[in-house]
Amino acid sequence: MDNLQEQFSNIYDEYIDKIYRFVYLKVNSQEIAEDITSKVFTKGWEALQGSQEDIKNLGAFLYQIARNAVVDHYRSKGRTNVVSVESSPEIADPNTGIHEKAVLSADISNLKNAIQKLRQEYQDVIIWHYLDDMPIASIAELLGKPAGTVRVMLHRGIKDLKDIIQES
Amino acid sequence: MAKITQKQITEQLKTLKDIKPRKEWAVLLKSQILPEQQLQATIPAQKISFLDILSSVFAPKKLVYSLAVVLFLIIGVFGFASQTVPGDLLFPVKKIAEQSQAALTGQIGIRQNVVTLNNRINDLAQVAKQGRTDNIPSAISEITADASALVKDLQNNAVGNKQTIKEIAASLKTLADVPGTDLTANQDVKNLYQTVVQSQIADLQEATLTDEQKATLSEVEELYNQAKYVEALEKILLINN
């Protein structure tokens, strides 16, 4: 395996879960998330091969492709905030009868749906910071905005999320 | 819905970390994107394809068959050429084979020329025996050329190897015995006789001889002086035997 392949292989292993999750939380569909994620990594690999200069932050580059891919997806389909409770392994079966599990499952489902209703920029910063453990400085760099602005976005995003959940 | 704090929301957000892609899908995608892994993934499929099995079975055999045919042709040509005599179409092939064989067995220079002369004398004997009169001039020509080469070799080697001289003498005796051919008038052959007889006389003069052998040697010397080299050689062979 040459150096480029090895580099991308490592990046793939590191980011496949993150990018998939990032996309999944935006489209709320396993099938679509897989489709978009595969496009993201394919484009990433093609860009890496065709690039004359080294891509400094390949992870950030993949997130950027993912953001654009999701935008393209909704642009082509016509955005509809469909509230889906599509089955997925991380959501507990509502028929288990175990009260706590059912409550937890319902909470997670509400949370997922609420995230989808957020503005895209809030979605991004919340996922990156709370799910991907990305530092604010890195998010700021990724978005090309000051760290203070990212903090404000995070704060407003969580507030909006809280409002959406409480309204549902 | 009950009130929820921001802290609770951030805690719930962390539970979403469990969202992960299907493992088999992730592995497949990686293998599709990275060429080397894709290659590794497709090679087993290619190995079991019918066409590849056929080509893997027959392609090497084609090569083996081709090589075998070429090998048989070469062996056939050389085998057939070994039966040829001077004047035949494939005789040059026989000469090449003899030269190659001599080189492989370390017979070079005068040794190679002695062997060649012996072979050509045998060819002449075969041609004479089979009555192939058309081949006789070519056979004689070959012997003449070899005789000339040997004379030069012997002159360059002064005394020369005693065993080699004896072998040449034996070959010349065989030549003299070939019916219907008399090459004593041929200058190259005559020179070879002269050189051999001269060398043999010198050897015998230094050797311890019986009275009878001394007498024969005197006759040889006389024959040599009279340029009767064939007769002289016959008497030398009598002494040697």
**Which has more confidence, A55 or A126?**
A126
Position B63 scores a pLDDT of: 76
Identity (one letter) of the amino acid at B21?
P
Position B3 scores a pLDDT of: 76
Burial A87-122 (b: 16+ CB within 10 A, else e): ebeebbeeeeeeeeeeeebebbbbbbbbbbbbeeeb
Q: Please say if the pLDDT value at position A103 is more than 70.
A: no
d(CA A34, CA A39): 9
Question: DSSP of A7-56, one letter per residue?
Answer: HHHHHHHHHHHHHHHHHHHHH--HHHHHHHHHHHHHHHHHHHHH-SS--S
Q: Does B16 touch chain A (CB under 8 A)?
A: yes
**Which has more confidence, A16 or A56?**
A16
Position B134 scores a pLDDT of: 82
Q: How much is the average pLDDT of B46-50?
A: 53
Residue B183: CB atoms within 10 Å = 21
B33 vs A24, A41, A167: nearest CB: A41
Q: Does A8 touch chain B (CB under 8 A)?
A: yes
Position B50 scores a pLDDT of: 62
d(CA B169, CA B181): 17
Q: Does A16 touch chain B (CB under 8 A)?
A: yes
For residue B142, give the 3-state DSSP assignment. Answer: helix
For chain A, which residues make up each domain, given as ranges?
A: 1-80
For residue B207, give the 3-state DSSP assignment. Answer: coil
Chains A–B, number of C-beta pairs less than 8 Å apart? 86
User: A22, exposed or middle or buried, with CB in 10 Å at 0-12, 13-18, 19+?
Assistant: buried
Position B155 scores a pLDDT of: 79
d(CA B190, CA B181): 14
Lowest mean pLDDT among A27-36, A65-74, B102-111: B102-111
pLDDT-based confidence at B57, cuts 50/70/90?
low
A1 and B3: CB-CB below 8 Å? no
**Which has more confidence, B167 or A12?**
A12
Tokens of B150: 């040997």
d(CA A67, CA A22): 9
Position A20 scores a pLDDT of: 94
Q: Please say if the pLDDT value at position A5 is more than 60.
A: yes
Phi, psi (degrees; rounded to nearest 5) at B86? -50, 135
A33 CB neighbours in chain B (<8 A) are: 21
Q: What is the torsional sign of CA A139, A140, A145, A147?
A: positive
Position B39 scores a pLDDT of: 47
Identity (one letter) of the amino acid at A54?
D
For chain A, helix (H) and strand (E) counts, in that order, are 7, 0
Q: Does B51 touch chain A (CB under 8 A)?
A: no
Q: Does B18 touch chain A (CB under 8 A)?
A: yes
Digit-coded pLDDT (tens) for A44-74? 888 888 876 677 788 888 999 999 999 899 8
Q: Please say if the pLDDT value at position B41 is more than 50.
A: no
Lowest mean pLDDT among A16-20, B40-44, B60-64: B40-44
Cβ atoms of A106 and A95 closer than 8 Å: no
A130 vs B5, B14, B35: nearest CB: B14
Position A51 scores a pLDDT of: 73
B20 CB neighbours in chain A (<8 A) are: 17, 20-21, 90
- Chain Cα centroid distance, residue A144: 18
Digit-coded pLDDT (tens) for A140-160? 988 889 999 999 999 999 999
Most confidently predicted of A39-43, B144-148, B156-160: A39-43
Helix, strand, coil tally for chain A in percent (to 5): 75, 0, 25
B33 CB neighbours in chain A (<8 A) are: 8, 12, 41-42, 45
pLDDT-based confidence at A93, cuts 50/70/90?
very low
CATH number 1.10.1740.10 given to A1-80:
yes
B17 and A112: CB-CB below 8 Å? no
B33 and A111: CB-CB below 8 Å? no
- Number of Cα atoms under 13 Å in the Cβ half of residue B118: 15
d(CA A122, CA A153): 6
Interface confidence: ipTM more than 0.85: no
Position B59 scores a pLDDT of: 64
Tokens of B190: 């005559």
Lowest mean pLDDT among B22-31, B94-103, B152-161: B152-161
**Closest to A121 (Cα-Cα) out of A48, A53, A58, A71:** A71
Q: How much is the average pLDDT of A129-144?
A: 90
Q: What is the torsional sign of CA A153, A36, B34, A53?
A: negative
A167 CB neighbours in chain B (<8 A) are: 1
